[in-house]
Amino acid sequence: MITLRQLRYLTALARHRHFGRAAEECAISQPALSMQVRELERELDAELVERRPGEIVLTDTGLDVAQRAERVLAATRDLVDFARHRDVLSGELRLGIIPTLAPYVLPRVLPRLQKEHPKLRLEVRETQTKTLLGELAGGVLDLVMLALPVEGADVETLPLFDDSFLLAVPATDKLRGRVEMKDVDQRRLILLEEGHCLRDQALAFCASPNRAGVASLGATSLATVMQMVANGYGVTLVPHVAADTEVRDARVRLLRFADPQPGRTIGLAWRRTSPRKLDFVALGKTVTAALGVKLR
């Protein structure tokens, strides 16, 4: 019979496409992981992995089995959660959060969670939206905090608060007062690198349909972007939730946009099959209380 361990190893291999990195994630040796995957292939009587020098490729069957395995592992995780978690916000909870939220939300939320829910053991994973949603679907994460909307019939969401965008410009910039989108020079717009949802949101609000004039430079963090703005290299959009932390430099000014102001909706997302909805709603209330905003 196939085992959950084998399925977990296969899904890790599907994510990393590398035996060494998959073994590291699963905290086992590379030969042990390889042996278990081969045993799974024998049990299924199917080739799941093409082994090539320096790389691996999943076969079409392997990809399909890995996707189905993710659903099995997620359902198993939900079963365990149902049995174990009787008290609200107790036990282990694995939370994923996007990088444009984590440094600004967690320092205010975590102390409150520790005080109000001492039985909660929170594990936090910070990475980009696409990765978070993949790990949520596979049962690696219980819950993610990100910008809504999230597509997918298997996901349930809870809006938490609206996060408006501000325009950060060098202090010497000629722009003053409330600005409109047409005032933003796309050639000076500095964005986060590909993969960050904030980049896509900024482009949606500021760029022309062909986006030909948008600067191609991308940074890995808001802190880097703000340093570039401070030194006169361009302008950027800053989420309101990050403003107090990132804009402490006298060389940077923040400008509000004219109504209707651009922004994003921040919320929580979880598997629709998860039995821990009460936990997630309680966490959402704790987040909004810690940030001093009303739950949407």
Q: Which residue in the block uniquely carries the two structure tokens 């717009």?
A: 189
Other C-beta atoms lying within 10 Å of the C-beta of residue 171: 12
Contact 150, 120 (CB under 8 A): no
Calculate mean pLDDT across residues 123-144: 92
pLDDT digits (tens, 9 = 90+) for 68-98: 998 898 888 878 777 666 667 888 999 999 9
pLDDT at 83: 67
Residue 296 is predicted with a pLDDT of 72
**CA distance linking residue 225 with residue 88, whole number of Å:** 39
Contacts of 200 (CB under 8 A, 6+ apart): none
Percent of all residues in the chain with a pLDDT value above 70, rounded to a whole number: 94
pLDDT at site 153: 65
- Given its phi and psi angles, is residue 228 left (phi above 0), alpha (psi -120 to 50 degrees) or beta? alpha
Express each pLDDT in 149-206 by its tens digit.
998 768 999 999 999 999 999 999 988 889 988 888 888 888 888 778 888 888 787 7
pLDDT tens-place string over residues 12-36: 999 888 898 899 989 999 999 999 9
pLDDT band at 45 (very low <50, low <70, confident <90, very high): very high
Is the confidence at residue 211, as pLDDT, over 50?
no
**Mean pLDDT estimate for the chain:** 88
Residue in the block written with tokens 């694995």: 94
Q: What is the mean pLDDT of residues 225-242?
A: 92
pLDDT of residue 217: 59
pLDDT at 9: 94
What tokens were used for 277? 């909805």
Integer angstrom CA distances of residue 53 from 19, 24, 56, 57: 12, 19, 8, 11
pTM, entire model = 0.74
Is 204 or 265 the better-scoring residue by pLDDT?
A: 265
Q: SS3 for 126-193, per residue?
A: ECCHHHHHHHHHCCCCCEEEEEECCCCCCEEEEEEEEEEEEEEEECCCCCCCCECHHHCCHHHECEEC
Residue 86 pLDDT? 63
Span of 6-20, 187-201, 221-235, 263-277 with lowest mean pLDDT: 187-201
Query: For the chain, which domains are there?
Result: 4-82 (1.10.10.10), 86-159+266-291 (3.40.190.10), 162-263 (3.40.190.10)
Strands, E assignment, the chain: 49-52, 55-58, 91-97, 120-126, 143-148, 155-170, 191-192, 218-219, 236-239, 252-255, 263-271
